Amino acid sequence: MSVATLAPSTDELAALTPEDFVGLLRAELTKPGCGMADHPIVGAMEDGSVTVPQLVLFCEQFYLHISRMLPWIGAIYVNCPFEDVRTTLVKNLAEECMGIETGTKAHPELLLEWGAALGGDTDAMRTAEQLPAGRRLTEYFEFMGLCRDWCVPLAAIGIGLESFVPDTFTRIVAAQKQNYGMSEEDLIFWTMHILADAEHGDEGIEIVSEYARTPEQRDAVYHCTLETGRLFYDMWNVYRTVPA
Ligand SMILES: [Fe+2]
């Protein structure tokens, strides 16, 4: 193993400014095999090489993950000692579970609507078996929610996933219109997250500077966010199990 592949030490991570810490994490998350940034399925949508059956499986497994991961936001709520953060979590959950703020629907349901527009059977997607890659990711949120400080899963979502959403989902929306005949209506799940996560802006830096203050918390945020990114990459990669 070369020195360059070694993770920074706890002390090195603790010495970074919140901006540099988040910048380092984001750089790691854009490497091959990690996170959603430039994930192969995005390029495959853009060149039209991912097939509709592959997209339906991708939709199904992404749906199963997000619908089963949302309860673990509740674990963050229970463990968070800051009332203002808890209030934000309740609002986020109400939007995720009912679409209250945007006047839409539960976000997992919006994802299924895209699957239906592709020709997928929504009842079958709802009751499908969650494949091992998806289970590992969902269960990692269970682990973080129950076994790590509340700020760890929050950072993993904010830095590891949401901060890459505007760029990634913008590419997906364009490719879905161009190559798969999708309308604005079919793509509400993707478009609404572009706006929502662009508004969240520097939330990751705020989480780190306000709440992940000890060296141990910094260390846990670093490693758990990267692991979330790796597991997310693998979950999005399940489309390859359907022959092209
Ligand atoms: Fe959402």
Distance (angstroms) between ligand 1 centre and the Cα of 4 equals: 35
In a domain, 9, yes or no: no
In a domain, 36, yes or no: yes
The pLDDT, as a whole number, for residue 200 is 72
Range of the domain at 143: 16-241
Low-confidence spans in the chain with pLDDT less than 70: 1-5, 201
Distance (angstroms) between ligand 1 centre and the Cα of 193 equals: 6
pTM of the model: 0.95
The pLDDT, as a whole number, for residue 6 is 76
The pLDDT, as a whole number, for residue 1 is 44
Distance (angstroms) between ligand 1 centre and the Cα of 92 equals: 8
In a domain, 159, yes or no: yes
Distance (angstroms) between ligand 1 centre and the Cα of 66 equals: 8
Express each pLDDT in 90-119 by its tens digit: 999 999 999 999 999 999 999 999 999 999
List, as one string, the DSSP characters of the chain.
Answer: --GGGSPPPHHHHHHS-HHHHHHHHHHHHTSTTSSSTT-HHHHHHHTT-S-HHHHHHHHHHHHHHHHHHTHHHHHHHHH---HHHHHHHHHHHHHHHH-TTTTS--HHHHHHHHHHHTT--HHHHHHSPPPHHHHHHHHHHHHHHHHS-THHHHHIIIIIIGGGHHHHHHHHHHHHHHHH---TGGGHHHHHHHHHHHHHTTHHHHHHHHT--SHHHHHHHHHHHHHHHHHHHHHHGGGGGS--
The pLDDT, as a whole number, for residue 2 is 47
The number of distinct structural domains making up the chain is 1
The pLDDT, as a whole number, for residue 94 is 95
The pLDDT, as a whole number, for residue 201 is 63
Distance (angstroms) between ligand 1 centre and the Cα of 173 equals: 16
Q: What is the CATH number of the domain that holds 130?
A: 1.20.910.10
Distance (angstroms) between ligand 1 centre and the Cα of 156 equals: 15
